Structure 1
């Protein structure tokens, strides 16, 4: 087996395991969120669930990034997956004996967020250790393709399981996915990471991740724009089920169809990146995607609450999903290409930290506003605010690069 086939084989094994895990997680996440939407029909509760899900990421991301650079990334990723699987199993067993209150489901979403905080920077940092630099855009496109596929199929599986079985059975799909992902990663030998810098005090190591952004103006401004947008995108993501169940007054199957449409848009773009699409100006492309996201959000906020309006909403969700990947794939590849391997975990965790702080803040502010004004109005307000803020960041970015 030649060297090219060797790295590809390792990458595909890891990617397949992650895809199975994401498929189980996506189905369970949809079922949990839809359960909350049906039980409460409250933007405040949906916002609180999103806040609790992202708060652990905001708190733990700095520690996760340092851990990914100091310690064994493979071990961290496996332990994160297995911990989330064990939590799902515990809740599945509890559900056999009792009806869990709303707060217990929200707690589970928070526990899953904690696991994700450690898993994401570890697995994102492992990929460049396996893949040659010239293939990073394609492999990131492929990873996002698998990720999008899980979002495409996951909600359908989640809706089917939710309709046919009790929640305890639904949760088992997350357990199976976590186990298979861990096995796939365990059998792959990850090249040893040689640290070229001395181990520093924890606070100093945290600063390293943020210094990378300060030194690279392109990266600094695109992450600033992303963080500002996440302030509004966070609540919108939490309110997706309510757009279907409350605004359009439709069932879980229509909710899964919206998730399907969103993931379909992600898949189309991921497939293009994974096969033929080449991006020369990665940061410029990432900025453009955020601008389109803002325009689409405005359109989502003005459609009527009719079945025709829902069909248009589903089409717009295709665009939203597509633009998310047009933003993230070039940005991730840019970081993997330009940041030295021994700093990469902290850079990814710093980026996660920025988004994870702004999203809960958006949920805290956006939830009561949506409770008063309605879900659709929040989409409209969000789109307008994102356009203004991206415009300001772009002006600062252009001035700094002259």
Structure 2
């Protein structure tokens, strides 16, 4: 255990402080969703916050990965964190001067999303350089643990601070966590740099040619490409879910800010339990099959319980069933990616992954917000009684509930289709 800690110490310091900063950022993002929805009452306007954050992934990810492979990983991470913090400080100033408008948030979320686009492949490669290969699955469990713990704490802390101390206090906490992570990375973490004769030649390559290498690598490794496309389809359904969830839970008779926070807290509890599970269960014989099964359980439970349930207990049970196996899926995906993609190519391949896997997220948020506001809510408003109201209830929020039912059907069909597509594929440590 002592040897293991010594080998992982630099990564553990980086992981813990970055997770602490992510908690602060998550609190701000959550509180801004509450702030905007309570003022506008529009699922589409609220969903645009996430659209603006994810849009840079589509536009810039491939080029960001090529740049990340060329640039110093530590300096890249520090610069991107600093610009994102400046955006957060701008929101703070606008609130203090009572000048904050929705378009300010869209623009600043776009800036933060762009910085995350550049930082994410750099941080992935940095983790690979700091983690010995034999600890990939354990450290993936740690990342899932911190993400799930943040999922538990974010709605609790953000709702409490937002309700009792205001948006300014939430942002102040975010900036404090940023400072802790920034100073730790700057002063105490050394990230090793890999360099080979090929790396030197690639410094002289044109940016477009360098980025294209990531796409060509994926074209030659179809298992990785199919898994990325699988996650892209799942992300489409998941982002529609994320756009519709506040609209339903904040509008329902038995809902409200506290209920929304409670359901999100149970999402965090489920992923925390799943993260602990990842660290203790043996390696699956077939990691691809494990990924398919985990996503099938998620898609076939939560959406239907949200659609047909009408109280907090059922919604929380849905959150647990929908998220408990997600860390297990992520861990297996992470092992396949890190063990298959060459280290000097990871920045470019991860960036291509970001474009292909995450392009469906802003599409899903836009579609989810539009479908709630313009299709399902007006449809349910016209149905004073009948089969639809007996299934999904009545009043504001019932349209979002109906949309969850549609998402459940679509999610199950996606899992079944990719199960067939991936049926002949497998992945084990020996194969990797």
TM-score category by the smaller chain? over 0.9
Deviation, structure 1 residue 163: 0.8
Do structure 1's residue 223 and structure 2's residue 225 form an aligned pair? Answer: no
**Which of 309, 316, 319 is 1:317 aligned to?**
319
Name the structure 2 match of 1:327.
329
**Larger helix share, 1 or 2:** 1
Q: 1:275 to 1:86 in 2, by over 3 A?
A: farther
SS in 1 for 2:301: helix
User: 1:194 aligns to what?
Assistant: 195
The C-alpha deviation readout for 1:226-262, integer Å capped at 9, x for no partner, is 1112122112112222221013552322211111111
Hey, what does 1:23 align to over in structure 2? Answer: 23
Aligned to 1:150: 150
Q: 1:302, 1:254 → 2: CA distance?
A: 16
Would you say 1:64 and 2:64 are equivalent positions? Answer: yes
Contact 1:88 1:172 survives alignment (8 Å): no
The secondary structure found in structure 1 opposite 2:255 is coil
Deviation per CA, 1:11-41, whole angstroms, max 9, x where unpaired?
A: 1110111111111011111101111221122
Question: Could you tell me how far apart the structure 2 residues matched to 1:43 and 1:156 are?
Answer: 22
Answer yes or no: is the 8 Å Cα contact 2:244–2:368 preserved in 1.
no
Report how far residue 264 of structure 1 moved.
0.9
Given the superposition, is the C-alpha separation of residues 180 and 195 from structure 1 closer, same or farther in structure 2, using an over 3 Å criterion? farther
Pairwise CA distance, 1:210: 2.1
Q: 1:151 to 1:178 in 2, by over 3 A?
A: same
C-alpha contact 2:277 2:328 (8 A) present in aligned 1: no
Give the corresponding residue for 1:112: 112
Q: Distance in 2 between the 1:21 and 1:177 partners?
A: 5
The SS at the match of 2:151 is helix
How much has 1:399 moved relative to structure 2?
Answer: 5.7
Alignment partner for residue 281 of structure 1, among 275, 278, 286? 286
RCO comparison, higher one (Cα < 8 Å, 6+): 1
Matched, 1:387 2:387: no
- When normalised by structure 1's length, the TM-score is 0.92
Contact 1:297–1:382, Cα closer than 8 Å, also in 2: no
Cα distance between partner residues in 2 of 1:116 and 1:135: 25
Given that residues 288 and 425 in structure 2 are in contact (C-alpha distance below 8 angstroms), is that contact kept between their aligned partners in structure 1? no
Measure, in 1, the Cα distance between the counterparts of 2:148 and 2:133.
23
What is the number of residues matched between the two proteins? 398
Write the deviation string for residues 262-308 of structure 1: whole angstroms up to 9, x where unpaired. Answer: 1111111112223454334222211222212220244134324x3xx
Contact 1:301 1:377 in 2 (8 A): no
Q: CA RMSD in A?
A: 2.1
Aligned to 1:34: 34
CA distance in 1, matches of 2:283, 2:184: 29
CA contact under 8 A between 1:242 and 1:375: conserved in structure 2?
yes
Asked if the contact 1:55/1:110 (under 8 Å) is kept, the reply is yes
Matches within 5 A, 1:211-290: 211-290=216-295
Match of 2:174 in 1: 174
CA distance in 1, matches of 2:307, 2:256: 21
Instruction: Return the index of the structure with the highest Cα Rg.
Output: 2
**Distance in 2 separating the partners of 1:353 and 1:87:** 23
Mean Cα deviation higher: 137-146 or 85-94? 85-94
For residues 147-195 of structure 1, give each alpha carbon's deviation from its aligned partner in whole angstroms, at most 9, with x where no partner exists. 2111211221111110122212211222122221122222111112124
Which runs of no fewer than 5 residues in structure 2 stay unpaired?
377-398, 427-432
Give yes or no for contact 1:49–1:109 (8 Å, CA) kept in 2.
Answer: yes
Separation of aligned partners in 2, 1:52 and 1:185: 27
Where in structure 1 do 4 or more consecutive aligned residues deviate above 4 Å? Answer: 2-5
CA contact (8 A) 1:244 1:254 kept: yes
Give the Cα separation in 2 of the matches to 1:185 and 1:280.
37
Gap change, CA 1:277 and 1:243, over 3 Å in 2: farther
Distance 1:154 1:400, change over 3 A: closer
Q: Separation in 1 of the partners of 2:197 and 2:407?
A: 43
Bigger drift between 38-47 and 137-146 goes to 38-47
1: CA distance between counterparts of 2:185 and 2:282? 28
CA distance in 2, matches of 1:100, 1:131: 42
Gaps in structure 1 of 5+ consecutive residues = none
SS of the residue aligned with 1:25?
A: helix
Q: What TM-score do the two structures reach when normalised by structure 2?
A: 0.86
